Structure 1
Amino acid sequence: MLRIIIFAVIFLIIFERCAQQVSPTGGKRDSIPPNLVESDPVNKMLNFKGKKLELFFDEYVIVDNINQKLIITPEADNPYSYKQNGMSVLLTFKNQFKDSTTFTLNFGDAIKDFAEKNPSKNLKLVFSTGTSLDSGRVYGTLKDIKTSKPIFDALVGLYNVSDTLDIAKQKPYYFSRTDSSGIFSIENIQMRDYKMIAIDDKNRNMLYNAKDERMGFLNKPINAGSDSASYDLNMFLSDNTPTKVQRTIPRVNNYSVVFSKAIEKVAVTFMNKDTLPYLLEPGGSLKFFNVQPHPDSVFVKLIATDSLGTTTDFEQKIAFQAPRGKDRQKDPFTLTTLPEPNKPLNNTFTYSLILNKPVQFLDDKNISLITDSLTHEPLSAFKWTWNANHNIITVNAKSFAKDTIKWDIPKGSVISVEGDTLTKMLLRHSVLKEEDYGQIMGRITNSEQAAGYIVQLVDEQYKVIAVSMTTPYTFRYIPQGKYFLRLIVDSNKNQRWDTGEIDKDRQPEAIYYMPEKILLKSNFELNDVNITIPK
């Protein structure tokens, strides 16, 4: 009896182990994507009149986010549902397709094998509802104008040529999306004229959002003829939305007018002879400060200028909140500098003190530059200026320090319009040692006197390290590292880069990069690093 029980236990253990299903071990991973073996309709079919499309594969497949990834051109505005049937995928459309039109369905990586999720490659279906297939094709590349880097997953559209084209409201007739190399291709196009426009299309609604999406366009219509043509587009930000007062923020101490977009400058005119100190803050906020005495309400006229140079007029009422307690709570009075704190300085330098409030009093005889323990030179000994809002001091100074340059700002030497002062500050900068830095020199080999030029040295994160408005150029005291050389063609000679504007058919000012990255070592000079403008 005991022998029978032992045998039964062993049998159950063996049976349980055999019954467990586990993934097979060893062997090669399946890296082969599913292949399309048949479709209904067949690829490049003519006179298709149906509402259903079915794709058949050589293995079991799954559908992944097809509503986002399937691109149908021309834009059909024809809702569909899909059904996954093991080794096939069925699409059922609500309406019949437009007559006498060639349609292309590009599935991207929407269909994958069941086991390893390998996407089917180059999966595309073309058919015509007429008697022939359209044969036009356009292709090209898309890059960011400021970095020259390719742009992935941007929408490149062909629009019907119209005087009233509004890409914020109208979708493209044909379109494609760029791959990781910024390359796009639009095929099987009707052979006629189109307007080519590219947009970031971050929300994938195929409409342009000017506030935060880049765009690029060709000035002249293109013709998608039987011979394919290549086009290169540069993309840029161009917020052409109207400037509005988005909101106001009344406080006891200040009153902020917040604009709907970034503002470069604001002209303020006070009505009825009232005045208030004010400051344009980064990001598009104009702050007025409550300085007594003044009436309960102050009326101003504002002329705001955006990054496109467009001006907008406003009339604004400034009304501060009534104080609730005896003492008004003030925002802290702060100071930042350019160059940044602790950054090494050459003994001859330009320096900026940046305050977060307008200043009503500054004692330039009490603020001093310390060269050594015995030599203190007052700010008044140097040439310095205020900006228009009285919150930025720019000083040209010279020091004879050997190790450290110091600015001594005693408490009470800077007083804001709100009556508060900076705490005592000692700003330190080490003296720049030339042997720790390099130098880059060169010129524009084919410059024209009619144009202005801005030469920029940028690091690998495209941060501007040095700028020259002249050619030949010289960049001194550059830290060891890797850099790019960038040239802006300053067409209007306003010493800044100006973006484009599609409504005015105006392209941005051209930007060119030297193709080779620059490797600079300490205590080293690179000469004849010249820039040639492409023809």
Structure 2
Amino acid sequence: MIRTILFALLLLFLFDRCAQQVSPTGGKKDSIPPNLVESNPLNKTLNFKGKKVELFFDEYVVVDNINQKLVITPEADNPYSYKQNGMSVLLSFKNEFKDSTTFTLNFGDAIRDFAEKNPAKNLKIVFSTGSSLDSGRVYGTLKDMQTGRPLFDALVGLYNISDTLDITKQKPYYFSRTDSSGVFSIENIQTRAYKLIAIDDKNRNMLFNAKDERMGFLEESVTAGVDSVSYNISMFLSDNTPIKIQRTIPKVNNYSVVFNKPVERVNVTFMNKDTLPYLLEAGGSLKFFNVEPHPDSTLVKLTAIDSLGTSADFEQKIAFQQQRGKDRQRDAFSLTTLPEPNRPLENTFTYKLILNKPVRSLDDKNITLITDSLSHEPLSSFQWSWNANHNIATITAKSFAKDSIKWDIPKGTIVSVEGDTLPKTFLKHPVLNEEDYGIIKGRVVNPDTASNYIVELVDEQYKMVKVKEGTTYTFSQVPQGKYFLRVTVDRNRNHRWDTGDMSKNRQPEPILYLKDKIILKANFELNDINITINEKSK
């Protein structure tokens, strides 16, 4: 009997333990931002004479770097302090606001919820110290010029018109940011003339960084509340900072002159009888190579030219480091090709061997094109030539291969100016099968005879696949896929797209996109894929 009672009590104990409720762990993450429920003054208050602004939210909030993120327009020289109190934030200003003026306090993402730090969205307060609110408005859309796509969260500003306007140092008088459709609207602004400028503002400091931020502008001034039009602005990269030598890197084997920005070309003039091999590397670095014999230093004159066509002249002394051992430490000698390895080739093709150093010698009798197990043709049997810096060999060749085209480059056949040799290299490409590809044909409609036209076929990542100049085009051997067609209006006929320069009030050359995406299937031909030039783009 006692054993039965003890067993029953044990079962009750275990059942009680199993039935206990435990609070669930984790839970859905709070992604809802704090909402403004009241403010003092109320939004759009008139005749405001106070020096305090208080915001009340529906949950506990924290303040994040408000001194940097809160933007007051028009810009007011009025210092303030802030106090965070649970579900409210109080701003106390030192002075009263300027009379008869409409002010906008835009908080950006400076106020966030306490739990998950979600920022309050579109948080701004508008009030007037006069008897009416300024009602001027400027609106429109932004798009990227190279892709035609709308830009999100770009800064669109209205600037006071001035001969000394410098957007790298001056913030806009009024501003707005674009939504996901690239749309902007600047409201409650004084009715007068402004300069309208848009910038990427990636670091959100409201200043233009020419090195990596896009910008766009209108040539003529705009008048808020008078011009009832939607402004369309195209954004582009335009680094108009002066070219400078940022630093030099002397080594035993080479000497690099590094510019502060990418340059398209550098003209080099040696000031004495000595000469040195050199080449311009990607990213704006001009490298000279140490070739014996040479003096302790070599004086050169450099003329660097950027993508805007701006040039700068420098005199530079090239002085290599002294060698401290028997062996030199060389950078690796490497090769790339165009087309890249494993890309299909036609039987008649143009090919480029691209070396990272100027070449001293190339044995074109021992570099061979292999078309089958028995056919080995030396490079010397084809037409080929060097570029000016002797690091790119362009080859025009013909093969009778059925399956693959191969280049055999034995060790020792290519030697750099530093004396090192390219290791044995074997390059292979399949022979292009026309049935695996398609054709796209079309023309430029309504062209301007004074301009040249650059027609590009680009993929879904906007990488250029094919290019043709003129008003008609045929793109053959195009892989199956989805594409866009864009046309650059080459107004100065220099065979490239030229960016704009706001300091000269010069817009970039227009780039137009075909509205519809092109879908191409293998072994198909698409005709009359035309793009029309409007009068404004001529």
- What is the TM-score with the length of structure 2 in the denominator? 0.90
- State the 1:286 CA deviation: 0.8
For residues 486-513 of structure 1, the C-alpha deviation after alignment (integer angstroms, 9 at most, x for no partner) is: 1111111111111111111111111111
CA contact (8 A) 1:370 1:376 kept: yes
SS at match of 1:263: coil
Counterpart-to-counterpart distance in 2, 1:312 and 1:109: 42
SS in 2 for 1:380: helix
Q: How far did 1:40 drift?
A: 1.8
Whether 1:472 aligns to 2:489 is no
Deviation at 1:365?
Answer: 2.5
Q: Secondary structure at the match of 1:435?
A: helix
2:492 and 2:399 map into 1 onto residues whose CA distance is: 38
The count of corresponding residues between Structure 1 and Structure 2 is: 523
Checking the alignment, whether the CA contact within 8 Å between 1:171 and 1:206 is kept in structure 2 is: yes
> Post-superposition shift, 1:238?
0.9
Is 2:389 the counterpart of 1:386? Answer: no
Once the two structures are TM-superposed, the CA of residue 153 in structure 1 deviates from its matched residue by 1.6
Alpha-carbon distance between aligned partners in 1 of 2:244 and 2:522, rounded to the nearest angstrom: 50
**Aligned residue in 2 for 1:285:** 285
SS in 1 for 2:421: coil
For residue 172 of structure 1, give the secondary structure of its aligned residue in structure 2: coil
Classify the secondary structure of the residue corresponding to 2:503. Answer: helix
Tell me the distance in 2 between the aligned counterparts of 1:171 and 1:39. 27
The 1-side partners of 2:183 and 2:347 are apart by: 50
Displacement after TM superposition at 1:223 (Å): 0.8
Distance 1:73 1:399, change over 3 A: same
Between the aligned partners of 1:256 and 1:88, the Cα distance in structure 2 is 57
Deviations 1:509-528 (A, max 9, x none): 11111111111111111111
Spell out, residue by residue over 1:416-451, the C-alpha distance to the aligned partner (whole angstroms, 9 max, x if none): 112222222221111011111111111111112111
Contact 1:74–1:175 under 8 Å retained in 2: no
Residues 201-227 of structure 1 deviation map (CA, whole Å, 9 limit, x = unaligned): 122221111111111111111111256
Report the residue type matching 2:349 in the other structure.
F
Do the aligned residues in 1 keep the contact of 2:62 with 2:114 (CA within 8 Å)? no
Equivalent residue, structure 1, for 2:490:
490
Is contact 1:156–1:175 with CA below 8 Å preserved after alignment?
Answer: yes
Measured in 2, the distance between the counterparts of 1:113 and 1:378 equals: 72
Q: Give the whole-Å Cα distance in 2 for the aligned partners of 1:55 and 1:167.
A: 32
For the 8 Å contact 1:51–1:92, the answer to whether it is kept is yes
Partner of 2:360: 360
1:62 is matched by which residue type in structure 2?
A: V
The structural deviation recorded for 1:229 is 3.4
Partner of 2:246: 246
- Give the direction of change, closer, same or farther, for the CA distance of 1:134–1:345 in structure 2 (3 Å limit): same
Query: Cα–Cα, structure 1 residues 229 and 90, in superposed 2: closer, same or farther, change >3 Å?
Result: farther
Query: For residue 62 of structure 1, what is the aligned residue in structure 2?
Result: 61
Q: 2:62, 2:405 → 1: CA distance? A: 65
| Partner SS, residue 175 of structure 1 | strand
Partner of 2:508: 508
Whether contact under 8 Å (1:412, 1:421) holds in the other structure is yes
| Distance in 1 between residues matched to 2:219 and 2:497, nearest whole Å | 19
Partner of 1:101: 101
Q: Residue in 2 aligned with 1:481?
A: 481
Cα deviation for residue 137 of structure 1 reads 0.2
Indicate conservation of the 8 Å contact 2:34/2:61, yes or no. Answer: no
1:329 Cα offset (Å):
2.2
Does structure 1 conserve the Cα–Cα contact (< 8 Å) formed by 2:457 and 2:486?
yes
Distance in 2 separating the partners of 1:459 and 1:211: 26
Shift of 1:246: 1.0
Contact 1:215 1:236 (8 Å CA) reproduced: yes
Write out per-residue CA displacement over residues 174-232 of structure 1, whole angstroms, 9 at most, x where no aligned residue.
Answer: 11111222211110111111001111112222111111111111111111125643211
Q: What is the CA–CA distance in structure 2 between the aligned matches of 1:335 and 1:155, rounded to whole Å?
A: 43
CA–CA separation in structure 1 for the residues paired with 2:392 and 2:114: 63
Shift of 1:471: 2.4
- Equivalent position SS for 1:389: coil
* Residues 441 and 529 in structure 2, CA contact (< 8 A), matched pair in contact too: yes
SS of residue matched to 2:512? strand
Call closer, same or farther: CA 1:302–1:74 in 2, change over 3 Å: same
2-side partners of 1:25 and 1:252: how far apart?
60
Distance 1:354 1:24 in 2: 59
1:268: how far off?
A: 0.6
Alignment match, 1:151? 151
Partner SS, residue 444 of structure 2: coil
For 1:313, the aligned partner's letter is D
Q: Distance in 2 between matches of 1:357 and 1:531?
A: 42
1:30-429 superposed matches below 5 A: 36-57=36-57, 59-63=58-62, 65=64, 67=66, 70-107=70-107, 123-226=123-226, 228-429=228-429
Q: CA deviation at 1:483?
A: 1.0
Cα deviation, residue 399, structure 1: 1.2
Cα distance in 1, alignment partners of residues 77 and 145 from structure 2: 33
Could you tell me which runs of 5 or more consecutive residues in structure 2 were left unpaired when the two chains were aligned: 1-5
Q: Distance in 2 between matches of 1:515 and 1:280?
A: 38
Q: How many Å separate the matches in 1 of 2:119 and 2:359? A: 63
Residues 74-102 of structure 1: CA deviation (Å, up to 9, x unaligned):
23344434334444432222332222211
> Any idea what SS the aligned residue of 2:531 has?
coil
Q: CA 1:113–1:313 in 2, change beyond 3 Å: closer, same or farther? A: closer
Is the CA contact (8 Å cut-off) linking 1:66 and 1:107 kept in structure 2?
no
Query: How far off its partner does 1:340 sit?
Result: 0.3
Once residues 418 and 321 of structure 1 are traced to their aligned partners in structure 2, the CA distance between those partners, rounded to angstroms, is 15
Tell me, in whole angstroms, the C-alpha distance in 2 between the residues paired with 1:336 and 1:109. 47
Q: Deviations over 1:364-385 (max 9, x none)?
A: 2222222222222222222222
Alignment partners' CA distance in 2, 1:29 and 1:382: 67
Query: Cα 1:325–1:181, aligned 2, differ >3 Å: closer, same or farther?
Result: same
* Structure 1 residues 523 and 77: CA distance shift in structure 2, 3 A: farther
Scaled by the length of structure 1, the TM-score of the pair is 0.91
> Match for 1:140: what amino acid?
G
Q: Separation in 1 of the partners of 2:34 and 2:370?
A: 74
Q: 1:272 to 1:383 in 2, by over 3 A?
A: same
Whether the 8 Å contact between 2:446 and 2:534 is mirrored in structure 1 is no
CA contact (8 A) 1:137 1:229 kept: no
Q: CA deviation at 1:407?
A: 1.4
Q: Call closer, same or farther: CA 1:81–1:271 in 2, change over 3 Å.
A: same
Aligned twin of 2:3: none
Whole-Å separation in 2 of the counterparts to 1:116 and 1:359: 59
Q: Which amino acid aligns with 2:281?
A: E
**Structure 2 residue matching 1:509: 3-state secondary structure:** coil
User: Alpha-carbon deviations, 1:40-84, whole Å to 9, x = none?
Assistant: 222222221211112345x33424637265443223344434334
SS at match of 1:467: strand
Structure 1 CA distance, aligned partners of 2:201 and 2:213?
A: 7
Pair 1:295–1:110, CA change in 2 (3 A)? closer
- 8 Å contact from structure 1 (residues 458, 483) kept in 2: yes
Q: Which residue pairs with 1:518 in the alignment?
A: 518
Aligned-residue sequence identity (percent) comes to 74
